[in-house]
Amino acid sequence: MKNTRSLVLVLTLLVCVQTFHSQEKIYPGADEKTPSRAQYFSWINNTNEGPTEAQTQINLDFFNWLKQEYGMQLDIYAFDAGAIDGKRFYGSVKSDRFKNQFPYGLDSIYKKATDIGIRLGVWGGPDGFGDSSEEEKERTDQMVDLCRDYNFALFKFDAVCGPLRPEKEDAFIHMMQESRKYSPDLILLNHRLGLNKGKPYATTFLFGGAETYVDVFMTNDVTAPHHRAGAISRGLVPGLQRLTEDHGVCLSSCLDYWDDDLVLQAFNRSLILAPEIYGNPWFLRDDEFPKLARIYNVHRKYKDILVNGMVLPEAQYGPNAVARGDEKTRIITLRNLTWSPVEYQLTLNKEIGLTNTSDVKLIQLHPNEKYLGTYNYNDNIPVEVAPFRSAMYLVTSEDYDDPLIKGAAFNVLRNVNGKSVLIDVVGEPGSEATINLDKYNDYKSALINGKEDKKLVQGKNIKLRFGGEQLKLDPNRKLAGFNEISIPEDAEALYEATLFAADNNALEVRSLYRSGNTSIPEVRKARDAFFEQSAFVDRGIWDKNLFDGDMATGFWPSKKYDIDLRIKKGALRLDLGEVVDVDEIIVYVPDYFSLHPLLREEGNYVEVSTDLKRWETITYLADLKSTINIHKKIRYLRFRSQSQHIVEIEGFKKGKPLDRKKWRASNLFAHPIAMPAVKSWKSEFTLNEIPKGSYLSVALNGKHGEEGAYAAAKIGGKLVGAPDRAVSYPSNTWEYVNAKKDSNYTYYIPLDASYKGQNIEVFVMSYDKDNTDFTPEVWLSSDDDANEKIRVELFPN
């Protein structure tokens, strides 16, 4: 009887506990109407080795510079994998590993972040509670202390670290309850956790399970003029749920048109974390940072009303169009996922969420800003969205207090208290525009391209003339078609032209070259901190390591997760940058293991050329220091096999070292002997005008097989390769491996002003006999550099 009573008491207590949990009001850190929080997280800036205190301080200096110069405020800076926990392990702030990475703990980082107005977050796993009550308490106290002592705003818990054991779910719940006593608004990102009782304590779920590292995890599924067509084609969360995590926008690889991607993330989906970026935003060009800040600033200005969204009819507004805001102000995001411009009709009424009111202002906010006019309620206004771009519009019956130029497109670069206002007015080359300034009384003086202009701040019209030659044709258009031809006699040279134009460097290195040098100290330091971290250097993923005089660095084919990244065993290629008279080329490896698969004192072959058309084979003996006797003028070298670990390559003439500043190398592309062409096409045309920043997009529509088709050109008889392609050429990647695709490649061939009027021949070669039924097209594509800009500087009263 006594045992029966005890059992009944236990069961009653269990029911009470369950009832308590079911009745407990749980606030998961945010709700559907909580305004978004602007976030950066450090994945891809560091990988599983984790961040360091020194690098984090430098990154925070970058965000502080953005705030001081452009007014951009970040809400959350989140450490990603490796700060405390890591892949398949749970860490501790008391561990030697953590202390090596953060010698002074989190105190100095917390102080700097707080001074900037930023709160911290961290990646980790949901468990780590060990097998004893002592271990469970230690893990709980550690996570709670992050909130109590450092005001953490976010926990990102990922099953990559490890699953939550069912028997530890109560411990997980207790940890979250205690953490939110100190950080009531603590966001918990649920990355594939499979929670049960603990699910109500998670703020978000992962949208589509997708990560957004471009051409690693997110790629184009169609041909397109840039790499981010796949990113900007992402759909909407069912019901526009905002307590979702879409992994943000990766700024590390394939950066062109990043702003179209971020506009959709921030204003179209507008989730609880928005705008959200990760990776290496310091890789952007100096002239792109104002746009980054502008997106963040506009979002912050309207964040309270961006929580309300409605999906617009696809028949009228295109795929996944959304209007957000209140009854007086709506922000509309549209997109165009085709090769040609698309016109949509904006209806200024309840269809987009407006109440009945007059004097409705329509202002384009992206890709450029533009005052489109003031209209009546119910008016239908046509707007055009450029190919494979997003667009954003503000519709409002309220006062618009941002700087506003009427009469031309423009971009607000800086609008910060205590500083002059900077605006770029944008126009087509050779065009004219008559502009005036809205709210001109707010300013005491103005400069136009550095010269004082009083008319602008007096409310008068002024005429601007944009430089350059006026274009007669659309800078984005389809060019001539392709005809099937016999395999060209110089098919191998065309193949090599593209391979020598391309590279196999890490995607981040390609981004650095794309953006060029920076004049901003904070940007330069953040870039240097990334590229100089030992985890990056030790991977051997940048060809410049072969030419730096340092035998501790090198460049070799990466092998990640037992995936061989080489195409058909690959081939080492070396480009000296120009035709050079060479006596010897010397290749160094650090040990005999690194020499593999070559054998010491065994003959090997290298082919050399000056023009990619005629090749000569030279024999050399392999060793730790392999000396190749050349004694002639060459530019290109192609090795039929390569050592697995090369640390340096030098050249000499009469015993004196050659200048290696222009030297480049690749090591993943196939040797032509493994790539016989099986089918070929040709397109031929002349361009009588070449816009700035324009390039040929050679689109291969259909299935061609993995690495089964390549494109190249002859312009004025000169071989011209395609240095870029979507999906990206294979690279020795920094994190995980390049995505592989068997269809819809697009090759990009930059155009130079000197090509004007010259005969242009574009060739496509197929190398996969089972996949030759695809259709090549060539398009002229132009980026925003095709427009001219005039700088306006305004000085507030």
CA 84 to chain centre: 26
Average pLDDT rounded to a whole number, residues 339-364: 95
| 522 found inside a domain | no
Per-residue confidence (pLDDT) for residue 160, from 0 to 100: 84
Same domain, 369 and 295: no
- Do 66 and 215 lie in a common domain? yes
Q: What is the CATH number of the domain that holds 350?
A: 2.60.40.1180
Contact 41, 275 (CB under 8 A): no
Tell me, yes or no, whether 350 and 237 share the same domain: no
- What are 39-68's pLDDT values in tens digits? 999 999 999 999 999 999 999 999 999 999
Domain span at residue 446 reads 309-469+787-796
CATH number at residue 686: 2.60.40
User: Which of 617, 634, 668 is where one domain is finished?
Assistant: 668
254 shares a domain with 135: yes
Q: Are residues 458 and 484 in the same domain?
A: no
Mean pLDDT value across residues 704-721: 98
One domain for residues 633 and 690: no
Tokens 């104002």 belong to residue: 290
pLDDT (0 to 100) of residue 153: 98
In a domain, 256, yes or no: yes
Q: What is the mean pLDDT of residues 688-697?
A: 96
* Residue 476 tokens, joined: 């984005």
| Average pLDDT estimate for 403-420 | 97
Angle among Cα 779, 781, 787 to the nearest 5 degrees reads 150
Domain termination site, one of 625, 642, 668? 668
Q: Which amino acid is at 623?
A: D
Do 79 and 213 fall into the same domain?
Answer: yes
Given pLDDT bands bounded at 50, 70 and 90, which one contains residue 20?
Answer: very low
Question: Stretch 408-418: mean pLDDT, rounded?
Answer: 97
Cα distance between residue 355 and residue 336, in whole Å: 28
**How many structural domains comprise the chain?**
4
In a domain, 227, yes or no: yes
Q: Report if residue 209 sits inside a domain.
A: yes
Q: Which of 10-14, 39-43, 309-313, 321-325 has the lowest mean pLDDT?
A: 10-14
Q: How far apart are CA 342 and CA 143, in angstroms?
A: 51
Per-residue pLDDT reduced to its tens digit, 578-608: 999 999 999 999 999 999 998 888 899 999 9
Please give the structure tokens belonging to residue 144: 């709670």
595-608: burial string, b at 16+ Cβ within 10 Å, e else: beebeeeeebebbb
Do 779 and 791 fall within a single domain? no
Give the integer Cα–Cα distance in Å for 162 and 797: 58
- pLDDT tens for 608-663 read 999 999 999 999 999 999 999 999 999 999 998 999 999 999 999 999 999 999 99
Q: Please give the pLDDT value at position 784.
A: 77
- 16 within domain boundaries: no
pLDDT digits (tens, 9 = 90+) for 509-545: 999 999 999 999 999 999 999 999 999 999 999 999 9
Query: In this predicted structure, what is the pLDDT of residue 9?
Result: 45
- Average pLDDT on 320-339 reads 98
- Give 486's DSSP letter: P
CA 140 to chain centre: 36
Rounded-to-integer distance, Cα 705 and Cα 414, Å: 47
Residue 19 lies in a domain: no
Quick one: pLDDT band at residue 1, thresholds 50, 70, 90? very low
Which of the 8 DSSP states describes residue 383? E
- Cα end-to-end span (Å), the chain: 89
pLDDT digits (tens, 9 = 90+) for 658-672: 999 999 999 999 999
DSSP string across 91-159 = --TTSHHHHHH-TTTTHHHHHHHHHHT-EEEEEE-S----SSHHHHHHHHHHHHHHHHHH---EEEEET
Residue 194 lies in a domain: yes
| Average pLDDT over every residue of 439-447 | 96
For the stretch 451-477, pLDDT in tens is: 999 999 999 999 999 999 999 999 999
Please report whether residue 513 resides in a domain: no
Does residue 497 sit in the same domain as residue 444? no
Mean of pLDDT values over 380-406: 97
Residue 62 burial (CB < 10 Å; 0-12/13-18/19+)?
Answer: buried
Across the range 375-388, mean pLDDT stands at 97
| Average pLDDT of the residues in 766-786 | 94
User: One-letter amino acid identity for 146?
Assistant: L
Residues 6+ apart with CB under 8 A from 423: 403, 405, 410, 411, 412, 413, 791, 792, 793, 794
The secondary element (H helix, E strand) that includes residue 525 is helix 521-532
Q: In what order do the strands lie in the sheet with 788-796?
A: 409-414, 421-427, 788-796, 443-448, 451-452
> Tokens 């130079």 label which residue?
752
Looking at residue 194, its pLDDT comes to 80
CB neighbours (10 Å) of residue 181?
11
Beta bridge partners of 686: 759
Question: Which of these, 433, 514, 479, 472, lies nearest to 253 by C-alpha position?
Answer: 514
Helix (H, G, I), strand (E, B) or coil at 37: strand
Percent over 70 (pLDDT), the chain: 97
Q: Which two tokens stand for residue 135?
A: 């271990």
Place of tokens 């106290």: 141
Burial class of residue 170, CB neighbours in 10 A (0-12, 13-18, 19+): middle
Contact 60, 77 (CB under 8 A): yes
User: 223 and 340 share a domain?
Assistant: no
Domain endpoint, select from 266, 299, 332: 299
CATH number reported for the structural domain that contains residue 259 in this entry: 3.20.20.70
412, 443, 445, 446: which is closest to 426 by C-alpha?
A: 412
**Whether residue 171 is found in the same domain as residue 220:** yes
The pLDDT of residue 549 is above 80: yes
The model's pLDDT over 150-177, given as tens digits with 9 standing for 90+, comes to 999 999 998 888 889 999 999 999 999 9
Q: If you count DSSP H runs as helices and E runs as strands, how many of each does the chain have, helices first?
A: 15, 44
Distance CA 492, CA 154 (A): 54
Mean pLDDT of the chain: 95
Give the whole-angstrom CA distance, residue 485 versus residue 492: 15
User: What's residue 7's pLDDT?
Assistant: 47
- Those residues whose C-beta lies under 8 Å from the C-beta of residue 253, and which sit 6 or more positions away, are 213, 214, 215, 216, 227, 279, 507, 508, 510, 511, 728
The Cα 455–Cα 457 span in angstroms is 6
Furthest C-alpha separation in the chain: 104
Contacts of 265 (CB under 8 A, 6+ apart): 246, 248, 249, 271, 274, 275, 276
Considering the domain architecture, whether residues 116 and 135 belong to the same structural domain is answered as yes
| Predicted pLDDT at 162 | 81
Bridge partners, 790 (sequence order): 425
